[in-house]
Amino acid sequence: PSGLVPPGEHQRPVREIQRQNRVESSPVIPRQPTRAELYRQRPQSLLRTYTSEGTFHNAAFILVKNDYLAPAELRAVSQVSKAHHRLVTSVPKLKRVDFTPLREPRLDYASQKAIDPARVVMMDALAVHYDLDLGLVMRWLGGEYTAAWRLPALNELIDDLQGLLSEEDIAHVHRIITGDVPAELNYHESAKNKFHHINSKRHPSLDVYPEVMTK
């Protein structure tokens, strides 16, 4: 298949990664909230769930991240496709990246011309840390990513709506502002459909304002 890595190309990076994992120490990263702690801060509603069909691709990430594979097995995984080759070479590096600066305020966003590549790497490292669970990533980031700035004014808004809307509608306003959108969604996606979307080209509308997309 065209996606296979040429013989021998995968061997040097994999050996280097194994050697680096033995001799390089991880950065001193402050203790981060566990998954359970993040879920206690913002519980997961059973009314809104998403699952997808399990495949080898899901297992490969866990195997590589947790160092379950011997060097020969890593080489075999890296030969499956170009994507698996990148997985084997990048995940061990991302595990050593300190992503905690992502929580620091971005005071120069208005003048920003392009996304800082370092932030992209840190976001990847954060996703790896939480096993690619983007719900946990958003919980960890908080702040602007969860619209926390709206919460202090929520009670005042609810008071203003009393008498103007029904209690049911007010409850929906509260739900929407606190992030429980949509009201219900329980979706299980097939592996075929998921890979179709992952491999799809980006929507043409994203190229209409490239300066906005770059920022």
Give this prediction's pTM. 0.74
Task: For residue 74, give both structure tokens.
Answer: 């890593």
Whether a cis peptide bond, with omega within 30° of 0, leads into 182 is: yes
What are the Cα distances from residue 108, in Å, to 69, 116, 143, 209? 43, 12, 16, 21
**DSSP characters over 91-151:** HHHHTT---GGGGS--TTGGG--S--HHHHHHHHHHHHHTTT-HHHHHHHH-GGGGTGGGG
Beta bridge partners of 52: 189
**Contact (CB, 8 A) for 136 and 130:** yes
- Per residue of the chain (215 residues), what is the pLDDT tens digit? 334 444 444 444 555 544 544 434 456 678 899 999 999 988 888 888 888 998 888 899 999 999 999 999 999 999 999 999 999 999 999 999 999 999 888 887 778 888 889 999 999 999 999 999 998 999 999 876 666 777 778 888 999 999 999 999 999 998 888 777 788 888 999 999 988 888 887 777 777 877 777 77
Beta bridge partners of 165: 162
Beta carbons within 8 Å of 188's beta carbon, 6+ residues apart: 50, 51, 52, 53
Task: For residue 154, give both structure tokens.
Answer: 């929520």
Return phi, psi of residue 187, to 5°.
Answer: -130, 130
**Contact (CB, 8 A) for 179 and 191:** no
E-only strand ranges, 33-103: 48-52
Which string of b and e fits 173-190 if b means at least 16 CB within 10 Å? eeeebeeeeeeeeeeeee
Task: For residue 18, give both structure tokens.
Answer: 């194994």
CA dist., res. 187 & res. 52, Å (int): 8
**Contact (CB, 8 A) for 74 and 18:** yes
pLDDT in the model for residue 69: 92
Distance of CA 46 to the CA centre of its chain: 21
CA dist., res. 71 & res. 18, Å (int): 7
The DSSP code for 189 is: E
